Amino acid sequence: MTATGEIFDQSELTAAHPSLPFDTYLKVKNLKNGYSVIVRINDRGPYFENRTLDLSREAARRIDSEKTGVVPIEAVIMRPSGPIQEGQVISGNPGDRRVALNAP
């Protein structure tokens, strides 16, 4: 079960984030190869330092990170489902953390 109560499905384009509102859509771009995918936030996590997003297997496959696991990303909010706080971390890696600025 996900934090939203849905049954987790690795074949869906979903992701976990520690604080973004559920049903927020993110365009996630692998900064190593430029591949991107749009995912829907439906769970909480990851709970590892320096990680801001946990993709489903299918979403990871689409940006070619399924085998490597952790890659530098950029994430852009496509459609917020609720208020996003200014300064809220939305993506990044140890050297590059993107935050929401003047988000709607």
The residue ranges of every structural domain in the chain are 14-99
| 9/74 Cα distance (integer angstroms) | 23
* Residue 89 confidence (pLDDT) above 60: no
Q: Report whether 15 contacts 56 (CB < 8 A).
A: yes
pLDDT in the model for residue 50: 78
pLDDT in tens, 25-36: 999 999 999 999
Q: Report whether 68 contacts 22 (CB < 8 A).
A: no
Least trusted range by pLDDT, from 14-28, 30-44, 46-60, 87-101: 87-101
Q: From the options 2.40.40.10, 1.10.1060.10, 3.90.1150.10, 1.10.10.10, give the CATH code of 14-99.
A: 2.40.40.10
pLDDT in tens, 46-69: 888 778 899 999 999 999 998 888
Please, what is the end-to-end C-alpha distance for the chain in angstroms? Answer: 30
pLDDT in the model for residue 84: 60
pLDDT in the model for residue 68: 84
